[in-house]
């Protein structure tokens, strides 16, 4: 039997048996950890595209998932979120090859990186965790609208509580702390979710309700994964306290829940943990900051997204 404390750590699980026949899902960073477990679950339901930087790792994960689920529709495509050129190439290729897109799971992320920059000169946490997914969502949104009802799922973190959007030093050039940089980027995920939901809902008023695209964020829990690989101390602590950490499968449950649960059909702009609504920090509910971050993000990426 599972000890009660272990059951508590495991948290909520997605009970939905929803099928995704004829539907297409994109999951970023699905070659390891909770992304891989999310892909494994959704591959039992429909077609999954694993979008990753490391093609060899992604292919290994995909063939394992194909063998286990019997679903040959698990496809790998190259996507490096630290390079806007790669993001644009991925989107262009995807839109050329696939006519459908119903679920976009912005799962990939970096954590506790020493100070470094993306190909476009963005601080790594902000660049990958926020701006990369912001641009990807922008490029794929029309297809999601065409295939609606559709869902966007942003994997954020409880760490957003420690974040703030420092507009005066967005790239961390004046002061940098890798733990805080991660928190800031996870707060950006929550604010992006909030503002995108507001904009998509506003648009809904003009259409038949059939054009529903929802967007929700989530905290997967503290998961035993490779995300802490940049920190020797965290890797060591993770090993010691592994009993109190979720397995990647347990950590994937809320991502799967947000992607498929029938009761979320018209729920948007929310934040979940353990497959239920969770508390958002006051900074994560600040509409003015959300709007400003949206505009600054568009400026940095050189896009117009109204």
**Residue whose C-alpha is closest to residue 203's, from 195, 303, 273, 124:** 195
- The separation between CA 49 and the C-alpha centre of its own chain, rounded to angstroms, equals 14
Tell me phi and psi for residue 113, to 5 degrees. Answer: -75, 145
Taking the C-alpha atoms of residue 219 and residue 279, their distance in angstroms, rounded to an integer, is 10
**DSSP per-residue codes, 36-59:** HHHHHHHHTTEEEEEEES-HHHHH
Secondary structure element (H or E) that encloses residue 140, with its range: helix 133-146
Six token digits for residue 267? 């729920």
Which residues share a beta bridge with 219? 273
Q: Among all chains, which residue has been given the structure tokens 């690989």? A: 229
Tell me phi and psi for residue 171, to 5 degrees. Answer: -95, 10
Catalytic status, residue 182: yes
Which residues share a beta bridge with 49? 26, 75
Six token digits for residue 6? 């272990």
Catalytic-labelled residue, pool 176, 182, 206, 271: 182
Give the E-state strand segments of 70-198 in sequence order.
74-78, 103-106, 150-155
**Among the residues of 147-286, which ranges form H helices?**
178-204, 232-240, 248-260
Q: Are 151 and 215 in contact (CB under 8 A)?
A: yes
Six token digits for residue 94? 């995807």
Taking the C-alpha atoms of residue 221 and residue 163, their distance in angstroms, rounded to an integer, is 17
Which positions ≥6 away from 289 have C-beta within 8 Å?
Answer: 165, 191, 283
Instruction: Show which residues are catalytic.
Output: 182
């Amino acid at each position: 039997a599972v000890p009660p404390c272990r059951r508590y750590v495991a948290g909520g699980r997605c009970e939905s048996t929803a099928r995704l026949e004829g539907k297409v899902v994109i999951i970023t960073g699905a070659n390891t950890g909770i992304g891989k477990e999310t892909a494994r679950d959704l591959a039992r339901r429909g077609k999954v595209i694993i979008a990753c930087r490391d093609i060899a790792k992604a292919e290994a994960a995909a063939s394992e998932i194909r063998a286990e689920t019997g679903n040959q529709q698990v496809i790998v495509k190259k996507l490096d979120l630290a390079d806007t050129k790669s993001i644009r190439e991925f989107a262009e290729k995807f839109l050329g090859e696939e006519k459908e897109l119903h679920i976009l799971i912005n799962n990939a992320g970096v954590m506790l990186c020493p100070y470094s920059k993306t190909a476009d000169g963005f601080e790594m946490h902000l660049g990958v965790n926020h701006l990369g997914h912001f641009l990807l969502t922008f490029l794929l949104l029309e297809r999601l609208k065409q295939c609606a009802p559709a869902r966007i799922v942003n994997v954020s973190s409880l760490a957003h509580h420690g974040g703030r959007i420092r507009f005066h030093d967005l790239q961390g050039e004046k002061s940098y702390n890798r733990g805080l940089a991660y928190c800031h980027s996870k707060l950006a995920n929550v604010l992006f979710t909030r503002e995108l939901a507001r904009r998509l809902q506003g648009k809904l008023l003009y259409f038949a309700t059939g054009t529903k695209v929802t967007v929700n964020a989530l905290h997967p829990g503290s998961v035993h994964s490779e995300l802490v690989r940049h920190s020797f101390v965290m890797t060591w602590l993770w090993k010691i306290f592994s009993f109190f950490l979720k397995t990647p499968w347990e950590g994937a449950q809320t991502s799967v829940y947000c992607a498929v649960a029938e009761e979320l059909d018209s729920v948007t702009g929310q934040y979940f943990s353990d497959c239920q609504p969770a508390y958002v920090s006051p900074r994560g509910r600040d509409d003015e900051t959300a709007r400003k971050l949206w505009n600054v993000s568009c400026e940095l990426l050189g896009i117009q997204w109204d």
